[in-house]
Structure 1
Amino acid sequence: MSTEEKKRVVWTGEWVARRLGVSLSGGDQLPGLLGLALRRNPKRAHLLVSHVLGKHVPQRPGVVHGVGVGLGRRVRALLGDDAAARAVVLGYAETATGLGHSVADGLGLAPYLHSTRRPVAGVAPAGGFEEEHSHATSHLLLPEDPALLAGDGPLVLVDDEFSTGRTVLNTIKALHARFPRQRYVVVALVDMRSEGDRRHLEKFAADLGARVDLLALAAGGVRLPADVLRRGQELVAAHDTPDEAPPAEARNAAVRVDLAWPDGLPDGGRHGFTPAHRARLDAALPAMADRLRDHLAGARRVLVLGNEELMYAPLRLAHALDARLGAPGGFGALDAERAAETWAAGGAGADDGPAVFFSTTTRSPVLAVDDPGYALRTRLTFPAHDTPADGPGPRHAYNVAPGADPARRFDAIVAVVDSPGDTPGLHAPGGLLDRLAAHTDRLLLAVVPAHTPRPAEDAEGTAPHRQAPPMPLPEPLRGPAFSSYAPEEVGWLLQDLSEVTLEAPTEEREEAIQSGGAHYAESLPVEYQPSERYQALFHTALETSAARIARAVGAVTETVLAELPRRRGRPAGVPPRPVLVSLARAGTPVGVLMRRWAQHAHGLDLPHYAVSIVRGRGIDTTALRWLAAHHDPAEVVFVDGWTGKGAITRELTAALAEFPGFDPRIAVLADPGGCVDTYGTRDDFLIPSACLNSTVSGLISRTVLRDDLVGPDDFHGAKFYRELAGADLSGTFLDAVTARFAEVEGAVAADAARLAAEDRRPTWEGWAAVERISEEYGIDDINLVKPGVGETTRVLLRRVPWKILARSGAGPDLDHVRLLAEERGVPVEEVGELPYACVGLIHPRYTRGATGADGRTVA
């Protein structure tokens, strides 16, 4: 690469910024620190890609380690020497394990621990927390010595970026409950919080009664368009291509290099890393680097590739190897701008002498685009080679293959894995080593022995007793203390937030949700109190539809009971006993009715629980952990009332990817959208439980997920509206449907036989219809289109409706919809071609007092 070309440094976020409308705000330093890429993740569209972290982007090891050391020195200056000497550093898996370790190096005498996603047999967690936006959300803390976290010195938490603060708050809340202290310091490469997030942290610290400081290399923000998720997914679909096909010629096998890793030296901070460990590593590094150098004669461009959470040991090896090869690049600890320029220009060229780079493999699924204005230009994908220890699924290495630019090619790669990862899968065709060998002339393999914690001994030197007990999980709530349902009907895997004021006016909530200022699950709508005319409609609808609902309940329950053994791989002859898990709250009346049908028709007493799932945030992971601890996940059947466009179906599938054993398929009464394969009917008809809110759902509110109320080991929250007991129709609804079970038995048997024989695969017809309606009515956000009788009713009860589309000739199933629309002044538009009985449109771009697309003032 010429000197002139090196001067033309292209920002590696330009490609995404132009196409997605994402931009960075803040100082001039941010583009030097960060590029942009697109996630293959339904929860977030964009990925901030650090140039100095050493994860996705190969970087000079002196830069990666030096940036962390520099931040650690800043922490020591902030705390003072006395407090710094008592500090403990905690890093986040997988991305910041090496950064956190480097910060501990800069702090001086601080011990280090990082969270992990790898359970270790015989080691009980000292804590854990959730990272909701991630593709892999659950973190464990597994210190060999639980006393590591028990001191009263400052706790320094290190992550690569501080975007909303949710993960850090989850961690502090969980640890403060067990190991309270007076001071926390949060360290990140970049601070991208909004003003609201900053105020939230200040309030959190005040409520906690502790000081929380934050240090970062740079601060700024990310501007996102309102429809960023949809547009991001469309871009990924349009530009995603298979990985580069490996060359056909034979490749050289990896050469195994024995590092002579010191006995007993931990491989990283998964179980704790002390200053004494650091001193042993420093002393051993030159000799280990020499063992690698002996195999690299003549190499000009070398990559040391770490493995997921194993970042620090490969980083230090790379730095030592850099020095042994006499490579230039001794950047100052905080010279981030020069670091970014060096990487963007392809690193040290042939005229500069040998150059060593460092990066690691990752779980993160990200789009690769071979363009200088895109941060992740190439992707190598390979199967996980440390399963079952670290979870199944593909793994990735970014910017390792050169792509279209031969100057980016590494003529030698050193793959560093820990001993659990040195499996046949690592060496198999298509495995990591095979993928790497296709893109380099020399491939070395170095295996670091994984540290196995040993139980500490008591004073007599015998009894292991220092392992921290596992974090206790909460227990289900039951009626009558929580809900008007009988205690045996359902156990609520929720926490009671009845004493918290969560309600906000509908218009205020809508504006906050659409502006991005709040998530819909952070507040509750004011409970709709039906008029006498509307209540009369409910009772009429229940009387006319009870038998139809009973028939659908019977059909879906019989389908579950017939197919559960086959789907879950149970031995022949073992009677099915599914664990019904309804998605609160619309699914809960259906779960109760399915339980009652199993009792009526088969004498089965099925367990039934209700859990929270939140669009954009996933399912309650604490509830899943509780279910896995008390039942076989293979027996769990998720239950909902009906499908709309299938958003929750997709949400559940994505959420359960990290919880093997659970089946993401949902059983519903009605599937008008063609989104599931287990249903009672695909007709879109009135289910009276959709007509009301809590007063037909056990007096329970919609579920709530908010950082200051729901900690990492808490269930999501909900309210019990005890004061509405006089208007409660929950039992009335259930009993009216149950009373019709006997008369529909023959029809249910026929329906079950028909369903067993027909093709029930999802058609996603509803999703296609919603996309068509969105385009026709100029609605950019597909989440503002709510198809089906149930979803349309919810729009009228909870949101700011714009208009209702009703299928011509839909009949009395829509009487309550027309009445609600009349009461709220919402137009009902009759349409011909519609797979649903009706569709509710939430007002797009809602602002109080604004004028809608039809010229009507909406509030």
Structure 2
Amino acid sequence: MDETMETTERVVWTGDWVAERLGVSLSGGGDLPELLGLALRRNPKRAHLLVSNVLGKHVPQRPGAVHGAGHGLGRRVRELLGDEAAARSVVLGYAETATGLGHSVADGLALAPYLHSTRRPVPGVAAVGGFEEEHSHATSHLLLPEDPDLLAGDGPLVLVDDEFSTGRTVLNTIAALHARFPRERYVVVALVDMRSDADRRHLEKFAADLGARVDLISLAAGGVRLPADVLARGRELVAAHEDAGSPSPPAPSPPSGRGVDPVRVDLGWPAGLPDGGRHGFTPAHRARLEAALPEMAARLAGRLAGARRILVLGNEELMYAPVRLAEALDARLAATAPPHDAPAVRFSTTTRSPVLAVDDPGYAIRTRLSFPAHDRPADGPGERYAYNVAPGGDPARRFDAIVAVVDSAGDGPELHAPGGLLDRLAGHTDRLLLAVIPSYAPQGACAPHDSHTPQEQARPMPLPEPLRGPAFSSYAAEEVGWLLQDLSDVTLEAPTEEREEAIQSGGAHYAESLPVEYQPSEQYQALFHSALGTSARRIAQAVGTVTETVLAERTKSPVLVSLARAGTPVGVLMRRWARHAHGLDLPHYAVSIVRGRGIDTTALRWLAAHHDPADVVFVDGWTGKGAITRELARALADFPGFDPRIAVLADPGGCVETYGTRDDFLIPSACLNSTVSGLISRTVLRDDLVGPDDFHGAKFYRELTGADVSKAFLDAVGAHFDEVAEDVAARVEELAAADRTPTWEGWAAVERISAEYGIHDVNLVKPGVGETTRVLLRRVPWKILAQRGAGDDLAHVRLLAEQRGVPVEEVDGLPYTCVGLIHPRFTRGATGADGKAVASR
């Protein structure tokens, strides 16, 4: 079942090398060599290592074979116990090697919760038990269930390990747990049962003394014949080969002096779903994971086009989630590939167990990559290993794409440092992806990466995860991750005039409440669709221009971060352009920025923890007078590494250097509120709702689904991508040679208008078509200034102004198509255009 045995003729057993030199041999069924190879390790208690071909630890294997082996054993356990007893059972797997195997057995049982032991203490989570694995490289196991009663039931306990060598680990486990949680029945499950007759008799006596029944199930059974001097001879053999040189020849150095750059992929891991069984994994968790796997696989597949040999590499105890991702990826690629031509997906994981590598077909561990631990383990820094990942002397074994999957506790500086895991992998593949799964921390626990020094314990609690559609917003999950918290159940809307009075009087900030969501009339909706029909091509060209400018001048792997909510449709369109034109699957998030209060700092910390800040490109819809542009620059002064330059679709104010156009024209997404922005409200920042480690808030207006045109807007623009491609290329070339230094012409115009109209607060002057539309939709407008002769771009503005009884005044010399003036009647001492005092209240 090893991937080297997929041809009809098996040439060599991967235990021959050890058998010939040490006299070690296997006895048992004829299928045993298909399941096991042999290797040597530096261990004073056991020289040899049984290397499983279906475990997914040391030998890359088809993910379906890895998951299927455990799943099949689980079905056999269910048949043994019967459905009623199986439903009351609990499955316990052993760290680190059998965490994924145990989880797969629980899948086969279908109704059983799962827990695996761990070697990673988690501050704030009390251990309900522990035991020793006597022959292991790292012996101590902890049991840290979130539910302390998980093991307290009287149903069968199913214990899962990769192999039974002596049975002592099982005895230690049962003895420790039976003293606290006695039960009548245990089932022990393994891939292979290699115990001696004496070991078997010892377990039988132990069970009899305990007064409990113990059943055993395995794929195969046999034994290992060891010569009397195997430990001494093994140590000598290991030392001789390690002294001879590196087990993995160095990767060829590219001209740049470094390997391929890793690309981070946002999986869209479901919020609150455990990353594995360290704290327990229930059937409900399993159902959530199964539902999410196809979409997560699609995100990976989008970055792997053209790859033929793909390795999904898990990380120590993190075995189950990566193998299920690999299995879903394999299924997706097979479904979309021509018959009999699907890419080969394999799965394995890193380990802390040191094993000798010998590049020989008759030896199970051909190559070894070593790197420092990157998850801040409790036992201190140490070396970790990835086996059979480097191709060694056989180019046919090379993976042209590797997907490294780690939990967020391991996504630290050590992972990315020279000599770290990513650096070691980069030299042996053409494409390297990094997928980070959030480390699950039970309620009341510290973050798993919050280690054991007082300084580290003082760090913030775990950061929240992004919200995604369809649970939050009508956008598809892959289109955008909202770095917001859902306040849909909180009443935040206030009548427009009450909000305006509170805002202008200083009694409240505009971000502390929401305007009542404007519902357009049939006439206005028809105007929106008409405007979209006439401007979609123009918008598509601007989208292509700003996206290509970002790719050419900022970063080849941008992380798009739109300023919610006006920037979010633009961010989605930029992401769609990058995928359409270049096959890129760019991460895209939406964050909140509030004038006068800055950007969401929790969102910035999340971005810095999951992406390189240098790759982050902030995106907005358009510029007015540049207030948000300045706000962002001020906010990022305390967050080095982030680039404060905003990329916008339209820059009529002359405030930025990265834009699609500087024309002030009708962008239909400015015509509506939530119904063109994924049904999401403005963002909210209020002390009683948003804590120091919370994202800013927003509401999801699910009840407006019938009026939603978010997807229609995106699709209408995207339909023009092909026809504007040549125009985009020409425009980008033109802009590359142009002087795009911000002129701040818009700001100067706003100051002039403020003085001319007696408005002493520039925040009440909203320049540009987009900002004017916002004034008419959710503020108290006073009047609209329109560029004389402006035509269709102002049709919707004129309609809204007529509906609200707001005069439209045509003027000359505007740098914008129009400017909206908010009524200054709530500002003490304000005067109107005629010089008369404006009433205040």
TM-score by length of 1: 0.50
Partners of 1:60 and 1:80 in 2: CA distance: 30
1:359 counterpart = 2:359: no
Alpha-carbon offset, residue 353 of structure 1: 2.7
Equivalent residue runs for 1:45-444 within 5 Å: 45-240=47-242, 241-242=245-246, 243-249=248-254, 250-326=258-334, 352-389=341-378, 391-444=380-433
Q: Pick closer, same or farther for the CA change 1:438–1:205 going to 2, 3 Å.
A: same
Partners of 2:126 and 2:32 in 1: CA distance: 40
Matched AA of 2:273: L
For residue 149 of structure 2, give the secondary structure of its aligned residue in structure 1: helix
Q: Pick closer, same or farther for the CA change 1:209–1:328 going to 2, 3 Å.
A: farther
1:214-233 CA-partner distances (Å, limit 9, x unpaired): 00000000000000000001
Matched AA of 1:290: A
Q: Pick closer, same or farther for the CA change 1:26–1:306 going to 2, 3 Å.
A: same
1:452 counterpart = 2:441: yes
Equivalent residue runs for 1:500-511 within 5 Å: none
Alpha-carbon offset, residue 455 of structure 1: 4.3
Partners of 2:345 and 2:77 in 1: CA distance: 29
Q: Pick closer, same or farther for the CA change 1:389–1:285 going to 2, 3 Å.
A: farther
8 Å CA contact 1:120, 1:389 repeated in 2: no
Matched AA of 1:259: L
For residue 326 of structure 1, give the secondary structure of its aligned residue in structure 2: helix
Q: Pick closer, same or farther for the CA change 1:85–1:5 going to 2, 3 Å.
A: closer
Alpha-carbon offset, residue 136 of structure 1: 0.3
For residue 156 of structure 1, give the secondary structure of its aligned residue in structure 2: strand
Alpha-carbon offset, residue 4 of structure 1: 11
Matched AA of 2:107: D
1:122-141 CA-partner distances (Å, limit 9, x unpaired): 11100000011111000000
Alpha-carbon offset, residue 302 of structure 1: 0.3
Matched AA of 2:41: R
- 2:538 — aligned with what? none
Partners of 1:224 and 1:411 in 2: CA distance: 39
Matched AA of 1:312: Y
Alpha-carbon offset, residue 115 of structure 1: 0.2
Partners of 2:261 and 2:39 in 1: CA distance: 32
Matched AA of 2:436: V
- Structure 2: gaps of 5 or more residues: 446-841
Partners of 1:205 and 1:380 in 2: CA distance: 42
8 Å CA contact 2:120, 2:377 repeated in 1: no
Give the RMSD, CA atoms, in angstroms: 2.0
Partners of 2:6 and 2:154 in 1: CA distance: 55
8 Å CA contact 1:118, 1:391 repeated in 2: no
Partners of 1:417 and 1:328 in 2: CA distance: 27
Q: Pick closer, same or farther for the CA change 1:3–1:309 going to 2, 3 Å.
A: closer
For residue 143 of structure 1, give the secondary structure of its aligned residue in structure 2: coil
Q: Pick closer, same or farther for the CA change 1:224–1:143 going to 2, 3 Å.
A: same
1:168-220 CA-partner distances (Å, limit 9, x unpaired): 00000000000000000000000001110010011000000000000000000
Partners of 1:124 and 1:5 in 2: CA distance: 50
Alpha-carbon offset, residue 389 of structure 1: 4.7
Partners of 1:158 and 1:182 in 2: CA distance: 18
Alpha-carbon offset, residue 150 of structure 1: 0.3
8 Å CA contact 1:244, 1:380 repeated in 2: no
Partners of 1:276 and 1:371 in 2: CA distance: 45
Partners of 2:321 and 2:418 in 1: CA distance: 27
For residue 49 of structure 1, give the secondary structure of its aligned residue in structure 2: strand
Alpha-carbon offset, residue 247 of structure 1: 2.7
Equivalent residue runs for 1:724-739 within 5 Å: none
Matched AA of 1:18: E
Alpha-carbon offset, residue 395 of structure 1: 0.2
Q: Pick closer, same or farther for the CA change 1:230–1:181 going to 2, 3 Å.
A: same
Matched AA of 2:262: A
Q: Pick closer, same or farther for the CA change 1:106–1:455 going to 2, 3 Å.
A: same
Alpha-carbon offset, residue 390 of structure 1: 6.5
Matched AA of 1:407: A
1:582-601 CA-partner distances (Å, limit 9, x unpaired): xxxxxxxxxxxxxxxxxxxx
Matched AA of 1:387: R
Alpha-carbon offset, residue 10 of structure 1: 1.1
8 Å CA contact 1:91, 1:157 repeated in 2: yes
Equivalent residue runs for 1:624-703 within 5 Å: none
Partners of 1:268 and 1:2 in 2: CA distance: 30
Matched AA of 1:244: P
Alpha-carbon offset, residue 6 of structure 1: 5.8
Q: Pick closer, same or farther for the CA change 1:354–1:120 going to 2, 3 Å.
A: same
- 2:522 — aligned with what? none
Partners of 2:210 and 2:90 in 1: CA distance: 19
Partners of 1:284 and 1:24 in 2: CA distance: 42
8 Å CA contact 1:130, 1:139 repeated in 2: yes
Alpha-carbon offset, residue 237 of structure 1: 1.1
Matched AA of 2:430: D
Matched AA of 2:204: E
8 Å CA contact 2:188, 2:217 repeated in 1: yes
Matched AA of 1:297: A
Matched AA of 1:362: T
For residue 7 of structure 1, give the secondary structure of its aligned residue in structure 2: coil
Partners of 2:346 and 2:364 in 1: CA distance: 16
For residue 58 of structure 2, give the secondary structure of its aligned residue in structure 1: coil
Partners of 1:198 and 1:68 in 2: CA distance: 23
For residue 152 of structure 1, give the secondary structure of its aligned residue in structure 2: coil
- Structure 1: gaps of 5 or more residues: 330-347, 457-859
For residue 304 of structure 1, give the secondary structure of its aligned residue in structure 2: strand
For residue 420 of structure 1, give the secondary structure of its aligned residue in structure 2: helix
Matched AA of 2:200: R
Partners of 1:9 and 1:353 in 2: CA distance: 25
Partners of 2:262 and 2:32 in 1: CA distance: 38
For residue 410 of structure 1, give the secondary structure of its aligned residue in structure 2: coil
Partners of 1:8 and 1:455 in 2: CA distance: 53
Query: Which structure has the bigger radius of gyration?
Result: 2
1:149-168 CA-partner distances (Å, limit 9, x unpaired): 00000000000000100000
Partners of 1:37 and 1:442 in 2: CA distance: 30
Matched AA of 1:245: P
Q: Pick closer, same or farther for the CA change 1:67–1:4 going to 2, 3 Å.
A: closer
Q: Structure 1 runs of 4+ off > 4 angstroms?
A: 1-6
Matched AA of 1:32: E
Partners of 2:54 and 2:137 in 1: CA distance: 22
- Give the count of matched residue pairs: 437
Partners of 1:2 and 1:384 in 2: CA distance: 30
1:788-835 CA-partner distances (Å, limit 9, x unpaired): xxxxxxxxxxxxxxxxxxxxxxxxxxxxxxxxxxxxxxxxxxxxxxxx
Matched AA of 1:284: A
Partners of 1:194 and 1:2 in 2: CA distance: 30
Q: Pick closer, same or farther for the CA change 1:94–1:224 going to 2, 3 Å.
A: same
For residue 118 of structure 2, give the secondary structure of its aligned residue in structure 1: coil
Partners of 1:404 and 1:352 in 2: CA distance: 26
Alpha-carbon offset, residue 328 of structure 1: 11
Partners of 1:397 and 1:408 in 2: CA distance: 15
Alpha-carbon offset, residue 327 of structure 1: 6.9
The structure, 1 or 2, with the larger RCO (C-alpha pairs under 8 Å, 6+ apart) is 1
1:832-859 CA-partner distances (Å, limit 9, x unpaired): xxxxxxxxxxxxxxxxxxxxxxxxxxxx
Partners of 1:416 and 1:114 in 2: CA distance: 19
